[in-house]
Amino acid sequence: EDQVTQSPEALRLQEGESSSLNCSYTVSGLRGLFWYRQDPGKGPEFLFTLYSAGEEKEKERLKATLTKKESFLHITAPKPEDSATYLCAARAQKLVFGQGTRLTINP
Amino acid sequence: DSGVTQTPKHLITATGQRVTLRCSPRSGDLSVYWYQQSLDQGLQFLIQYYNGEERAKGNILERFSAQQFPDLHSELNLSSLELGDSALYFCASSVAPTSGGGETQYFGPGTRLLVL
């Protein structure tokens, strides 16, 4: 069965303190690895799509990378407005989401 | 703003009742997906439609059904509601079910359903 596991469940950082979120996936025939940001009570907001191992994508303070078994979302010098839940999803036959990492950035 | 719209934003109803949630996809998107998000389950895929036809089914209960109309908007019907059906329901859309290595799904703002 396709599975996506994210760690840690929650992460609290000080403003400017860089870190990484992990997404491990087990899917048959990966057709894309997706990262979304979700604010409380809102719909997931698309961030990145990665298709093959070694691929990297960047947007402002975020950088996503992909290996054959996991993906990382690196956050560099985060700001309080980066606080949100970050969701990872892997697509084979359907999109399977992880449980998310709840990120809090303290000023 | 993703371009996907959902109505209503909030819905409060009683057990045993039936409700209909509506979704309009982004302009040009042919595929619509429905998801349920509850605190303990995360985002769960329910069902997908492509250009009016059912394409894939996930963890959708028999009490739930959906359809996509010729104008591409979609409706999710939930019947014989139970307390456990209280959740956020999201609609997402994409251009096509398959596009190269995979398509990107854009999510709407969701409908919060509370069953009392």
What are A22-57's pLDDT values in tens digits?
Answer: 999 998 888 899 999 999 999 999 999 999 999 999
Residue B79: the pLDDT is: 97
Question: Is residue B98 very low, low, confident or very high in pLDDT (cuts 50, 70, 90)?
Answer: low
Q: What are B63-96's pLDDT values in tens digits?
A: 999 999 999 999 999 999 999 999 999 999 998 7
Distance (Å) from the alpha carbon of B21 to chain A's nearest alpha carbon? 15
Residue B31: pLDDT above 50? yes
Q: Nearest CB to A42: which of B58, B100, B109? A: B109
Q: Nearest CB to A51: which of B101, B109, B110? A: B101
Question: Is residue B3 very low, low, confident or very high in pLDDT (cuts 50, 70, 90)?
Answer: very high
Q: How many cross-chain Cβ pairs, A to B, lie less than 8 Å apart?
A: 57
Residue A92: the pLDDT is: 82
Q: What are A51-91's pLDDT values in tens digits?
A: 999 999 999 999 999 999 999 999 999 999 999 999 999 98
Residue A64: the pLDDT is: 98
**Percent with pLDDT over 70 in chain A:** 100
Question: Is residue B97 very low, low, confident or very high in pLDDT (cuts 50, 70, 90)?
Answer: low
Q: Give the B-side interface with A, CB within 8 Å.
A: 2, 4, 33, 42-45, 48, 56, 58, 88, 90, 98, 100-110, 112
Q: Three-class SS string for chain B?
A: CCCCEEECCEEEECCCCCEEEEEECCCCCCEEEEEEEECCCEEEEEEEEECCEEEEECCCCCCEEEEECCCCCEEEEECCCCHHHCEEEEEEEECCCCCCCCCCCEECCCEEEEEC
Can the peptide bond before residue B8 be classed as cis, meaning omega within 30 degrees of 0?
yes
Distance (Å) from the alpha carbon of B25 to chain A's nearest alpha carbon? 14
Contacts of B15 (CB under 8 A, 6+ apart): B81, B82, B83, B115, B116
Residue B101: the pLDDT is: 41
Residue A53: the pLDDT is: 94
Question: Is residue B103 very low, low, confident or very high in pLDDT (cuts 50, 70, 90)?
Answer: confident
Instruction: Say yes or no for a CB contact (<8 Å) between B102 and A31.
Output: yes
Instruction: Say yes or no for a CB contact (<8 Å) between A42 and B90.
Output: no
Can the peptide bond before residue B70 be classed as cis, meaning omega within 30 degrees of 0?
no
**Percent with pLDDT over 70 in chain B:** 95
